[in-house]
Amino acid sequence: MTDAQKEFEQELQIDPGNGNAAYEIAEMRRQAGDYAQADEYFQRALSQYPDLEEAHVGLAGVLMAEDKPQSAAEHLRAALALRADDEVAWYRLAQAERLLGHMSEQKDALVHFQSLHQAALEQRAKGSTSIQGEVTKQQIDPLQQP
């Protein structure tokens, strides 16, 4: 367990309803490949804050790793209903749709992703950055293929 995770665990002991701390632990566990723990903490964050868009995207990443694309797609659609400009959500939705055999939906999701991704690259090239929310932003994992 990392020092950061220990600190977030302490936050949860002080305030069991701290959705941000639950989310951060979940994301650390997801990145470490501990999907059972990640699922538990993402669910905990969403039980406290059902509109925590990043938690829906993170949980979808876990569900994809567990070969549950239908459930992942549901969480990704919920995330996109909350924030339609999340390029990671569109990317993961393209993956889920491909696994479900929904090629038209996959193509649509990829078009949205590519448009948002291009805009983000252009913003970064101009030196413009923005931080949304108070939690760690989801990122496209290097080995994921849509």
What is the pTM (predicted TM-score) of this model?
0.85
Nearest to 107 by CA among 118, 94, 117, 116: 94
Task: Assess whether pLDDT exceeds 70 at residue 29.
Answer: yes
CA atoms lying within 13 Å on the CB side of residue 15: 11
Residues 72-128: tens digit of each pLDDT: 999 999 999 999 999 999 999 999 999 999 999 999 999 999 999 899 888 888 875
Burial 37-74 (b: 16+ CB within 10 A, else e): bbbbbbebbbebbeebbbbbbbbbbbbbbeebbeebbb
Determine contact, residues 94/106, Cβ cutoff 8 Å: yes
Q: Which residue has the higher pLDDT, 141 or 125?
A: 125
- CA dihedral 49→68→5→139, nearest 10 degrees, is -80
Nearest to 140 by CA among 81, 74, 70, 89: 89
How confident is the model at residue 107, as a pLDDT? 98
